[in-house]
Chain A
Amino acid sequence: MTDAILLKDIDEPQLSDIAVYERRGGYKALRTALAMTQDELVAELEASGLRGRGGAGFPAGRKASFLPKGDMDKYLVCNADESEPGTFKDRELMQKSPHMLIEGIVIAAHAGGANHAFIYIRGEYEEQARILDAAIAQARKAGYIGDRILGSELSLSLVLHRGAGAYICGEETGLLDSLEGKRGNPRLKPPFPALQGLYQGPTLINNVETLMTMPHIITMGAKEYAKLGVSGSSGTKVVSVSGHVQRPGNYEIELGIPSREIIFDLAGGPPKGRKVKMWFPGGSSSPVLTADDLDLPYDFDSLAKAGSMLGSGAIIVIDDKTPVLDVALKTAKFYRHESCGKCTPCREGTNWTVRMLERIDTGEATPMDLDIMASVQEHIIGNCLCVLGDAMAMPIGSMIAKFRDEFEAHIQSRQLASVS
């Protein structure tokens, strides 16, 4: 395993206490960052090649540069809604090292020129919210949050906002609506949040892991950080491995290592006597890959080239004893439940897909239904305000394409069973 950056020393007891964090060199990067001008800091972040760790993989430095200059209320929102099935990296990071997140937030606020910051944490994470609340109080007392932080020009307020259980609130514009106290319906883009986001003001939205990486980029220097990983995907990534592996958990890897190393060497591979049938490389929204793809380098561009995506960095491994239909049905039911209902293709498409998959299970389906189902997926993609519908359509579409034989065999066996 490469030298961990984010997970280094994370098991140290009491790391969530500010004194322990400072003793380990915490908040030093903040002082360095505050000594830089805003432009220098943005340039540093851009030079590091850091790409957003929340799912879309957008360059973090460039995102910060989109915020307009000028004297107005600007907002920074930390997306800690982490609801993508299979993802649990932010939970562990926030629980064990909350001050690293706060330091990252203040640095990002300086880069974007924001004066109000919010952490939108999913409602289910009550323990983590309590830990963060305590850490925020400590940081405020120590002068890392508040007016004229450490004698600089930067003033920042930080509020922890708890969600209440909705996957769609992890989508950035749905999150903003939810933070404004409404139902979490996504908004039409453009205007993008960088220009018109929270309370109609310029808003920078970053994932927990992205923000937590920023102090380390400042400490190491962008050039050193960019040396990690591969071209186009620099740095390290915390990967959540779950499903049929012997040691599920969070592992920090250097981007670009073979996927096989993550699944087998780190997570221990599937239980004895079983084989990998398929795996989601980046949460349940990513198109599935098969055992043939295990040697793919784990980075943004290689996975995109293979027709999938790195997403939130959550690998779900499924072994050869699990029917593909079960996985497809679970996935589709999840998206049906979480669709906010605003756009027709997603609201109806997720519902139809579930019903067609159920028909396969009850023996009512014909092989033609697979084509209809595949065409439903095609009609969802790109036709909604947000990508929730796409997030179902892509994995289901890939399962139909890659495991068509199994679906057909299932249809036939169920039909025979229902006749006899």
Chain B
Amino acid sequence: MTSFSGGPGFEYRQEHAGVAISRTRDGSRTPGWDEPADLEKDPAEVPDPALVDVPAELRAEIEASMALYPDRHSAALPALAAAQRHHGWCSPRAILEAACVMRVTPGYLTSVATFYDMFELEPAGEHLVYVCTNISCSLRGADELLAEIEAEVGGQRDITVRHFECLGACDIAPMVSVDHIYYGPLGKGDAKRLVKDLREGSEVLADLALALRPTAASEIPEGESK
């Protein structure tokens, strides 16, 4: 038996043996799907360079990456990354500027930006902390580490903490990527130290940087390996 009620507070429930089971947790998986489309609106066009003021530095960066490829569309990812660096996140303004330089519609770049995990579609903090919570890291306590870091940050906006899928550093599990530099393995108290270092502006977890590590084979104790 299915009940259906429209309007605000939309609900879609299926009754099974007298128990109502919510089939979709928050109404729908696509936010705004029940809002009518504005059919009067003109489709977005390629932004007019005369009307969009693009910072010279950003323009130069995007144009340089466009020149690298046989097809300028290939520069979509580098252009969005550059716009994100300049604006702190992929804001509508950032996307508009990148689209203006690339001569594509903002809609095209939005479709690309929503596909990839590293583009921030909401305002992000000054520092980005990715915590890998995939299998190898979670076997070594990554979920607890994520909770610890989140608690240390305390919901403040200066540091954006995100859980991430495998970052390709399972040898230093559990690990974090702080502003795209890898650190690990993090032990007890390191979450506190990380947030403190970031807020004080000092070097982050200096002793745990991935770049310092030798290969694992060189660390096998004498006589243990064949």
Residues of A that sit less than 8 Å from B by CB: 1, 4, 7, 10-11, 73, 82-88, 90-92, 95-96, 116, 122-127, 159, 161-167, 178-184, 199, 240-244, 247-252, 261, 265-268, 280, 284, 314, 316, 318, 322, 326-327, 330-331, 334, 337-338, 340
Q: Which interface residue of A86, A123, A125, A181 has the most chain B CB atoms within 10 A?
A: A181
A190 → B minimal CB distance (Å): 23
On whether the beta carbons of B181 and A242 are closer than 8 Å, the reply is: no
Chain B residues whose C-beta falls within 8 Å of the C-beta of A166 in the assembled complex? 115-117
Q: Which interface residue of A10, A127, A241, A340 has the most chain B CB atoms within 10 A?
A: A127
On whether the beta carbons of A248 and B170 are closer than 8 Å, the reply is: yes
Chain B residues whose C-beta falls within 8 Å of the C-beta of A10 in the assembled complex? 215
| Contact status of A178 and B181, CB under 8 A, knowing A122-B168, A159-B68, A337-B165 | no
B220 in the interface (beta carbon within 8 A): yes
Chain B residues whose C-beta falls within 8 Å of the C-beta of A180 in the assembled complex? 71, 73-74
On whether the beta carbons of A182 and B76 are closer than 8 Å, the reply is: yes
A78 → B minimal CB distance (Å): 15
On whether the beta carbons of A126 and B180 are closer than 8 Å, the reply is: yes
| Contact status of A248 and B166, CB under 8 A, knowing A7-B215, A85-B134, A127-B210 | no
> Could you tell me which residues of chain B, from 195 to 226, have a CB within 8 Å of some CB in chain A?
210-211, 214-220, 224-226
On whether the beta carbons of A183 and B215 are closer than 8 Å, the reply is: no
Among B41-49, B77-85, B186-194, the one that faces the other chain is B77-85
Q: What 5 additional pairs, Cβ within 8 angstroms, besides A243-B139, A247-B216?
A: A116-B70, A124-B180, A127-B181, A243-B135, A316-B170
B136 in the interface (beta carbon within 8 A): yes
C-alpha gap A82/B173 in the complex (Å): 17
| Contact status of A327 and B77, CB under 8 A, knowing A11-B215, A164-B119, A249-B215 | no
On whether the beta carbons of B169 and A91 are closer than 8 Å, the reply is: yes
Chain B residues whose C-beta falls within 8 Å of the C-beta of A318 in the assembled complex? 139
> Could you tell me which residues of chain B, from 141 to 200, have a CB within 8 Å of some CB in chain A?
164-173, 177, 180-182
Chain B residues whose C-beta falls within 8 Å of the C-beta of A183 in the assembled complex? 111-112, 115
Chain A residues whose C-beta falls within 8 Å of the C-beta of B78 in the assembled complex? 161-162
